[in-house]
Copies of this chain bind each other. A is one copy, B any other.
């Protein structure tokens, strides 16, 4: 199973691709899609669409997961972020990928073991879990984190033979079920 994780954003969309082979996770690729700071919205969403499509063509993921976003203090920013996330999801479903959604808390819980972890802790644990030679950038780390979270949730689902809602009650620590 090859999982594409996405950390959506209008300015910067993070992506991370990992392979899950049994209980083992292998790093394949990660990075960011940048739309630049200015310009009309439609061409910027086109950059996200083409970026995500190119990643799919290159790494052939078999499923995808994307971080849930929350309302910003600034409602205008919420609207822009929503549109960027909509573009990323549309690129994924347009390639016929199933898209799972995880909250930042679920992702931190899966990667670090606590839903209140800070960004450097996520970067550090992502690096350890995937045996990276260094720390990924924050956007790429978040994207790899959502991919790891999805990989582990698949494990959890298989273990308990249940459907997604039942998974809510399980606790994960450092990427493992406890």
Binding site for B on A (CB under 8 A): 40-43, 45-46, 48-49, 69-71, 75-76, 78-87, 89-94, 98-99, 101
Contacts and interface: CB of A to CB of B under 8 A. Distances in A.
Contacts of A45: 86, 89-90, 93
Contact of A78 (B75, B84, B94): B75
21 contacts: A40-B101, A41-B89, A41-B101, A42-B89, A43-B93, A45-B93, A48-B90, A49-B93, A71-B76, A75-B75, A75-B78, A78-B78, A78-B79, A78-B82, A79-B82, A82-B82, A86-B90, A87-B87, A90-B91, A90-B94, A94-B94
A68 B8 CA distance: 21
Given A48-B90, A78-B79, 18 more contacts: A41-B101, A42-B92, A42-B93, A42-B99, A43-B93, A45-B89, A49-B90, A49-B93, A71-B78, A75-B75, A75-B78, A78-B82, A81-B82, A83-B85, A85-B86, A86-B86, A86-B89, A90-B91
